[in-house]
Structure 1
Amino acid sequence: MARAINTNILLSKTFKLFEFKGLWSSIFGQPSKGGIWIIYGKEKHGKTTFALKLADYLSQYEKTLYISGEEGLEKEFKDAVKRAGVNPKNKRLLFSDYVELGEVKEKLNKRHAPKIIIFDNTTVYNDELKNGELRRLALQYPTTTMIFLAHEEKGEPYTATAKLCKKLAKIIVHIEGLTAFISGRCPGGTITINEQTAMLYHGSQILNN
């Protein structure tokens, strides 16, 4: 059972923060490191592109591992990396195809383990994250930021595991029409992934947001 603390101790706690700048700061704020984030949306709406842009940016702050569990590291994923404009000289961003959750834990237990890990996606890891494993994973590695991608069905993340991710997430990113709508424990806002396509889908008012 977790130890209860009084108000004074609670208010004196300090946290390691992502000291974001510019647009990222105005929308994401300065979120604490660790915990769960989720990115979800329908097929072909820009989830992977946004996740790759985010991974490239986050790797400025922490070593980042992107697990392409669904697409693997095939040509299509390589093309997605190019479209996202990921810096080819960025050595703090690593890529892997699917690895079992047990192997992920082995990586996280190493001395120079990545502190940000992106799971693409929850459908691939659904069975391994069932029966409380998602919560246990987050509790076992509290200083590791875990970002889960998920498909969308009827406006919500697809699979029960993905829905739990959204409930636990401090940052929620809903992708629709090449636009990222960010909410959760942050200021919130929108980021267009591709302005021309986003305008065709949402209208010109999306740029004003």
Structure 2
Amino acid sequence: MSEIKVKKAKSITDLYKQNFKTFDFKGTFRESFGEPETNGCWLIWGESGNGKTDLSLQLAKYFSTFQKVHYNTLEERGRESFKIACRRNNMEACGSRFSFESEDFETMKARLSKKRSAKIVFIDSLQYLRITEKQYKELLSTFSDVLFIFISHAKGSQPKGSVADAIRYDADVKINIKNFVANIQSRFGGNEPFIIWEEGARNAELKLT
């Protein structure tokens, strides 16, 4: 049996010398999401009609000031509802830095393999992409320089399905949406609630009183 070569373990000094690529978020985005790394994965989940698409587009619009963004709109498939949501969030301001298409797992991989492909990818939704946990891990290992933001249906207060649950444990930023407010658990700081739509959040709060 050959001897296993063991590397010298890193010290705290080694760790502090490492430089990680991060987004220099400002204002309310920094207050809520911190200073996130430019790769890895996020998970957004919530019941239908609570603001998942609007938050995703608001994030996509902000991310487009840093990098190209691709939105895999499997669920709405670029229909009238998606068009309305894009207009509502003034997505034309992104110019050529925002693109969208409805495509399956293999087609999306082929797109991301192209030169100068987007480095920020929204997947709406995880349930419509129909991937396994193994395929999810394949995405992250194959495209290690990409930030994947998965949008998931919810079952009660939790993401729906075993794959979504696995991603929730893995995600660097976890975003649970209810009544047009995003409640955030970010490994990069921030963690203040993010208001998606003030009037909608205010009306929802009034209904509860």
Q: Which residue of 2 aligns with 1:148?
A: 150
Distance of aligned partners of 1:65 and 1:5 in 2 relative to their CA distance in 1, 3 Å threshold: farther
Query: Is 1:121 aligned to residue 98 of structure 2?
Result: no
- Could you tell me the TM-score, scaled by structure 1's length? 0.89
Aligned match of 1:176? 178
Q: If each structure's helix is expressed as a fraction of its own residues, which one has the higher value?
A: 2
Shift of residue 84, structure 1, vs aligned partner: 2.1
State the match for 2:75 in structure 1. Answer: 70
Query: Which amino acid is 2:153 matched to?
Result: H
Within 5 Å, give how 1:2-17 maps onto structure 2. 5-7=9-11, 8-17=13-22
Q: Which ranges in structure 1 are unaligned for 5 or more consecutive residues?
A: 205-209
Matched, 1:188 2:181: no
Q: Distance in 1 between matches of 2:33 and 2:112?
A: 25
Give the match for residue 59 of structure 1: 64
Gap runs ≥5 in structure 2: none
Q: Secondary structure at the match of 1:19?
A: coil
Q: Quickly say closer, same or farther: Cα 1:88–1:22, change in 2 above 3 A.
A: closer
- In structure 2, relative to structure 1, the CA distance for the partners of 1:121 and 1:145 (3 Å cut) is same
Provide TM-score, normalisation by structure 2.
0.89
1:160 maps to 162
Deviations 1:96-137 (A, max 9, x none): 12x1211211111111010000000011112xx214111121
Change (3 A) 1:10 1:92: same
**Residues 50, 84 of structure 1: 8 Å contact kept:** no
Q: CA deviation at 1:95?
A: 1.0
Give the counterpart letter for 2:184 in structure 1: I
Q: 1:50 aligns with which of 26, 32, 55?
A: 55
Equivalences for 1:126-141 in 2 at 5 Å? Answer: 126=130, 129-141=131-143
Alignment of 1:29-48 (within 5 A): 29-48=34-53
